[in-house]
Amino acid sequence: MKATVMYAAGDVQIQDVPDAAITEPTDAVVRVTRACICGSDLWPYASMERSESGQSMGHEAIGVVEDVGSDVATIKRGDVVVMPFAFSDGTCAFCHEGLPTACVHVGFFGNNGTNGAQAEALRVPFADGTLYPLPVGEDDALMPSLLTLSDVMGTGHHAAVVAKVGSGMRAAVVGDGAVGLCGVIAAKRLGAEQIIVMGRHADRTALAREFGATDVVAERGEEAVERVRELTGGEGVHSVLECVGLDASMETAASIARPGGAVGRVGVPQHTEIPGSLPAFFGNITIGGGPAPVRAYFDELLPDVMEGRIDPGRVFDSTIGLDGVPDGYRAMTEREAIKVMVRP
């Protein structure tokens, strides 16, 4: 079968690899009908050292179950399923507590012996705990929005939950990529009255406004902090959704939070320390977040997608086949596309 392999920064290839197959009795094999390229895939695309074996890519997908192992009880052949970016057993203490990304059996697609989702098919470990059957056919019109449940919509929602967004509150979203845009949807959905999106790409901030952002701040650094203060009566915002992961964005996030406020971090940190320690300490600001437990959010978010209350699939502004994936990486890196959908 065909799959996406990254060999070095800027070197993404479509390769013939061994077919996905059941290796454990708890596995399923899924034929991928929709996948996508993630903002987090762009970090290795910018910096990966050359590897002879390469890195299998992709961690977001919807597909049709083709085969299941002998211990799989709830997932059946023919089910249309969405997968979260991490697999989990669904039975351990952390899964029961709603944190499947800390599952004792957690693994991330494309690693731990699994192939990535930018491929014709995928082996899914712990199918019962990982996969979520969808009540639609494989070509349903809602596919783009359903696909965002795999990562970006659940991740934006996680940022809003950790940042304690609530009714009537002020929120700011740092970053105007697909996760930031979904963060705007999430903040509005949880009742924020003012939503400031911080980004400088006109097409993205325009979409943010359609999703419910009330203000756009294109400035960076100290100027951005000043601008947010002006927009919030000098106080800052109750909730900050940090959707980038760079030192500068984290410093800004901690500096625009209102005393007593909270920052939800979901941008994969490109550093080992948390910047903004001083403003966070003196403002009594809670800083939390991490890999979003998107599997635990399907039950809450799916009805809003199915009933049209949210439309996060609008973050996809380009659709390609598997052979177009290398160019899709280039287009997202050069900000020609917000998020690229793949139809293998």
Task: Tell me which residues touch Zn ion (CB under 5 A).
Answer: 88-89, 92, 95, 103
Kindly state the smallest distance separating residue 199's Cβ from Zn ion, in Å.
35
Nearer to Zn ion, 92 or 136 (CB): 92
Identity of the residue numbered 186? A
- Asked if 65 contacts 78 with a C-beta cutoff of 8 angstroms, the reply is yes
- C-alpha 142/C-alpha 136 separation (Å) is 9
Kindly state the smallest distance separating residue 296's Cβ from Zn ion, in Å.
11
Nearer to Zn ion, 99 or 196 (CB): 99
Give the start-end residues of each E strand in 199-269: 215-217, 237-242, 257-265
Nearer to Zn ion, 89 or 176 (CB): 89
Kindly state the smallest distance separating residue 201's Cβ from Zn ion, in Å.
38
Tokens of 134: 């969808």
| Nearest partner of 26 among 118, 84, 90, judged by Cα | 90
DSSP designation for 27: -
| Phi-psi label, residue 9: left if phi above 0, alpha if psi -120 to 50, beta otherwise | beta
Kindly state the smallest distance separating residue 4's Cβ from Zn ion, in Å.
28
Q: What's the residue count for the chain?
A: 344
| Nearest partner of 306 among 82, 58, 75, 85, judged by Cα | 82
Kindly state the smallest distance separating residue 43's Cβ from Zn ion, in Å.
26
Using the structure block, give the residue that is written with the tokens 């996948």.
Answer: 35
Q: Within the chain, how many helices (H) and strands (E) appear?
A: 12, 18
Class of residue 42 by CB neighbours under 10 A (exposed 0-12, middle 13-18, buried 19+): middle
Nearer to Zn ion, 47 or 91 (CB): 91
Kindly state the smallest distance separating residue 89's Cβ from Zn ion, in Å.
4
Kindly state the smallest distance separating residue 307's Cβ from Zn ion, in Å.
30
Kindly state the smallest distance separating residue 131's Cβ from Zn ion, in Å.
14
Nearer to Zn ion, 19 or 97 (CB): 97
- C-alpha 163/C-alpha 140 separation (Å) is 33
Nearer to Zn ion, 132 or 329 (CB): 132
Nearer to Zn ion, 103 or 213 (CB): 103
Nearer to Zn ion, 103 or 146 (CB): 103
| Nearest partner of 12 among 297, 285, 325, 332, judged by Cα | 325
